[in-house]
Homo-oligomer: A and B are copies of this chain.
Amino acid sequence: MIISATFLDEITHDIPSQNWGRTEWSREFKLMRAAGIDTVVQIRVGHRRWMSFDSKVLKKEQNCHQPPVDLVAMFLELAGENNMAYYFGTYDSGQHWHEGRADREIAINKPLVEEVWEHYGKYPAFKGWYLSHEVSRNVNGIVDILATMGGHCKKISNNLPVLISPYIAGKKEVSAFESQISREEGVSLNEHEAEWDKILSGIKGQVDQIAFQDGHVDFHELPAFLELNRRLAERHGLQSWSNTETFDRDMPIKFLPIAWPKLLLKLQAARAAGIEKVITFEFPHFLSPHSCYPQAHGLFERYCEHFGIRAQV
């Protein structure tokens, strides 16, 4: 069970930028394709006042800063050149929906995805949508956001698939801006099932793929949660992916590449649970031989050795 999809963490939220230009990204897409990645998901087109293309909607609605390059176009072109699918990640204000205004989050994103589809829908690599609003619980109007935006994205794009990547309210659900790495109590399997049954019922038909993040529970708890997540997805007609995180949540430095034994264990657990596809957060920072973190170079070596992947770096 190899990793066949990756997020691209632009605009970054808690992972420092590698400051790559087109040359570095072009090299990276080739390498990713050779290593078995067929799908890239731009995690969010914008966050707070930052945006990754010159969006009229985001300038008007959120006073976003002018970006120096059009990352959406670049990612679409490189995906096309390398025969990969590109998913577009929606805008996350980092604010409105946390303050009870899910409607405002939707009111910005609806015209935004229309603007995006009008400008970029013609690119052959544009193969799906990613709803960037991440939750672990039925809070912040998340059902409204996901159902409305999922439905709208599908409607304007002739039904392209829609992906979400929520997390589990496990023991390791701790802010990246806290020094601690875990808390006393995590969600139980029963609570998680009840909560997500409700959410997934509410977004049925508007979302196609669900990739729960796999890093918020302890490693020995993961098999049961993966199995439950697969059943939840099946029950509600979704494809079950796993977001196999390639960064290490157990260390004081937040975040560096994960230890290989941990990654292997998680991939084996995903396979055992019958997960359909593995996406990672994320290849360029944490699994790439070109990463700014040399620990990732080692991780890539171990990963390729284990799975017999031959990718010319």
- What is A's interface to B at a CB cutoff of 8 Å? 12, 14-21, 24, 49-50, 63, 65, 67-68, 176-181, 219-220, 248, 251-261, 264-265, 292-299, 301-302, 305-306
Asked if A248 and B16 make an inter-chain contact with CB atoms under 8 angstroms apart, the answer reads yes
Query: What residues on B are CB-neighbors of A180 within 8 Å?
Result: 177
How many of these chains are in the complex? Answer: 3
Asked if A67 and B12 make an inter-chain contact with CB atoms under 8 angstroms apart, the answer reads no
Query: What residues on B are CB-neighbors of A49 within 8 Å?
Result: 219-220
> In the complex the two chains form, what is the Cα distance from A50 to B299 in whole Å?
18
> In the complex the two chains form, what is the Cα distance from A56 to B18 in whole Å?
43
> In the complex the two chains form, what is the Cα distance from A219 to B63 in whole Å?
11
* Pairs across A and B, CB under 8 Å, 8 listed: A12-B259, A19-B299, A21-B305, A65-B219, A65-B261, A177-B179, A292-B294, A292-B295
Query: What residues on B are CB-neighbors of A306 within 8 Å?
Result: 68
Query: What residues on B are CB-neighbors of A293 within 8 Å?
Result: 292
A-B residue pairs, 3 tightest by C-beta: A19-B298, A17-B259, A292-B294
Question: Which interface residue of A18, A248, A305 has the most chain B CB atoms within 10 A?
Answer: A18
Nearest to A63 among chain B residues (CB) is B220
* Given the contacts A14-B251, A252-B177, A21 and B301 also touching, CB distance less than 8 Å: yes
> In the complex the two chains form, what is the Cα distance from A15 to B251 in whole Å?
7
A120 to chain B, nearest CB (A): 20
Asked if A302 and B21 make an inter-chain contact with CB atoms under 8 angstroms apart, the answer reads yes
Q: CB < 8 Å: which of B50, B68, B251, B260 contacts A19?
A: B260
Query: What residues on B are CB-neighbors of A259 within 8 Å?
Result: 12, 16-17, 19
Query: What residues on B are CB-neighbors of A302 within 8 Å?
Result: 19, 21, 68
Query: What residues on B are CB-neighbors of A21 within 8 Å?
Result: 298, 301-302, 305
> In the complex the two chains form, what is the Cα distance from A301 to B69 in whole Å?
14
> In the complex the two chains form, what is the Cα distance from A247 to B264 in whole Å?
29
A257 to chain B, nearest CB (A): 7
> In the complex the two chains form, what is the Cα distance from A296 to B179 in whole Å?
25
Asked if B16 and A253 make an inter-chain contact with CB atoms under 8 angstroms apart, the answer reads yes
> In the complex the two chains form, what is the Cα distance from A49 to B222 in whole Å?
13
A223 to chain B, nearest CB (A): 11
Asked if A260 and B68 make an inter-chain contact with CB atoms under 8 angstroms apart, the answer reads yes
Asked if A176 and B19 make an inter-chain contact with CB atoms under 8 angstroms apart, the answer reads no
